[in-house]
Structure 1
């Protein structure tokens, strides 16, 4: 019997707990990740075009404003590139059967967390522990 096609989040969340990461759920997240990947690739291409087209011309004020805009565009392109790499890695994990499970504990990450952050690799508890370690490390090394 074929699994149901999940069209929206409410259908996904209505599925029984035992259906976690079945083929229908994997397909839902694969489609979501591929759509986000396509959007990011288009946005990154537009950002790159804008950077190339932003040749400096005009007086000093224009050049300074253009330089600031260019700096912001480069930061945006960097963020988009990093997120794109995360999505590619997530799609690889999905294809390998590791998607939806915590890299640290092996426990389910949870549908609600994956809906908010489809590239999540840690369950909430493991993520909290990681943030506590980072906070503790930062405090120790800033003193």
Structure 2
């Protein structure tokens, strides 16, 4: 079972091979070329997640958890439990990717939902589903922590 990070890196490499284009601060923010770049990056990421989910499904149908040894069975069940939890997290990630694609279509992608300011290209490269600037995200997390401590 490949790790989630490996799949994300593979998707990033596929985008990097897209004629070598990388968004730059020297060009207008969220111009059509940048939009196409991030759209492709999001589609590739989503496709990689869905492809892996299908692999997990087919593996679940083929593999049997009927190990004769109780220790082996417990180990297999633990492995599958972790794998299914990962798939559930990825299912939630796919919905965030879909939301980012919707924002792209509506012309809202790349702008902070709190301040309306552009999200840095570096942040969008690292986290294409980002909805807030780093500063707004930090404020949000501090407020969340304070309210949890109450």
- Cα distance in 2 for residues equivalent to 1:118 and 1:100: 9
Q: Which residue pairs with 1:15 in the alignment?
A: 26
- Cα distance in 2 for residues equivalent to 1:101 and 1:48: 36
- The higher radius of gyration belongs to 1
Q: Which residue pairs with 2:12 in the alignment?
A: none
Length-normalised TM-score, structure 2: 0.81
Shift of 1:56: 1.5
Mind listing any 5+ residue stretches in structure 2 that lack a counterpart?
1-17
Q: Which residue pairs with 2:133 in the alignment?
A: 123
Q: Which residue pairs with 2:38 in the alignment?
A: 29
Q: Would you say the 8 A contact 1:54–1:66 is kept in 2?
A: no
Mind listing any 5+ residue stretches in structure 1 that lack a counterpart?
1-5
User: How many aligned positions are there?
Assistant: 132
Length-normalised TM-score, structure 1: 0.85
Q: Which residue pairs with 2:59 in the alignment?
A: 50
Shift of 1:136: 0.9
1:77 aligns with 2:91: no
State the Cα deviation string for residues 84-111 of structure 1 (Å, max 9, x = none). Answer: 1111111011011110001111110111
After superposing the two structures, state which structure 1 stretch, 101-110 or 50-59, moved more.
50-59
List structure 1 runs of 4+ shifted beyond 4 angstroms: none
Shift of 1:133: 0.8
Shift of 1:14: 5.3
Shift of 1:25: 0.6
RMSD: 1.6
Q: Would you say the 8 A contact 2:25–2:121 is kept in 1?
A: no
